[in-house]
Amino acid sequence: MSRALIVVDVQNDFTEGGALAVTGGARVAEAVTEHLRRSGGRYDLVVASRDWHAADGDNGGHFSAEPDWVDSWPVHCVAGTPGADYHPALDATLVDVHVTKGAGSPAYSVFEGVTGDGSSAAEVLASRGVDEVDVVGLATDHCVRASALDAARAGLRVRVLTDLVAGVGAESSAAALDELRAAGVETVASTEVAA
């Protein structure tokens, strides 16, 4: 058995002051780093994703001047800009594999992304024999939800660490966690994992 931590979109544009800021985003960045530092080898692999949208065009309708906040959004996480960078409180040196997603099209799940050599997240996890994943990051009700659901669909044992995520809305985040539990995803605090 091999376990990975998947860190979803802990980027400047999704934290306080960013284009699509999530309240508590900076706290999540700090807490994920603390969790990794005290994990003491609990994870065989750490994978982090970033939205990495194209600067030109609307990225398949993902960007809009009049967003509906469901399928279309204001411009965010444009590749190579400060908004697309990891939040500075996330220690990226603790990440083994970096995945980018959404270049030219909408993408919510880490499983829609690729590494620098073009490998999919699923291929990376399979190559390392990963069968269990913990999912953390931003935002609970969007990319964390999509990533955890895809991990479960891929046959992995999945846990979302509820104190290491933050969502856009309280109701939509609670609904996302309910949906994840119904799909067989475990929701636990990182302190329970560490115990």
Active site residues: 9, 101, 143
Q: Report the SS3 class of residue 29.
A: helix
- Assess contact for 138 and 10: CB atoms under 8 A: yes
What DSSP string runs through 80-119?
Answer: TSGGGSBPTTS-GGG-SEEEEE-SSS---SGGG-B-TTS-
Q: How far apart are CA 88 and CA 195, in angstroms?
A: 28
Nearest-angstrom CA–CA distance, 116 and 108: 18
- Number of residues written out for the chain: 195
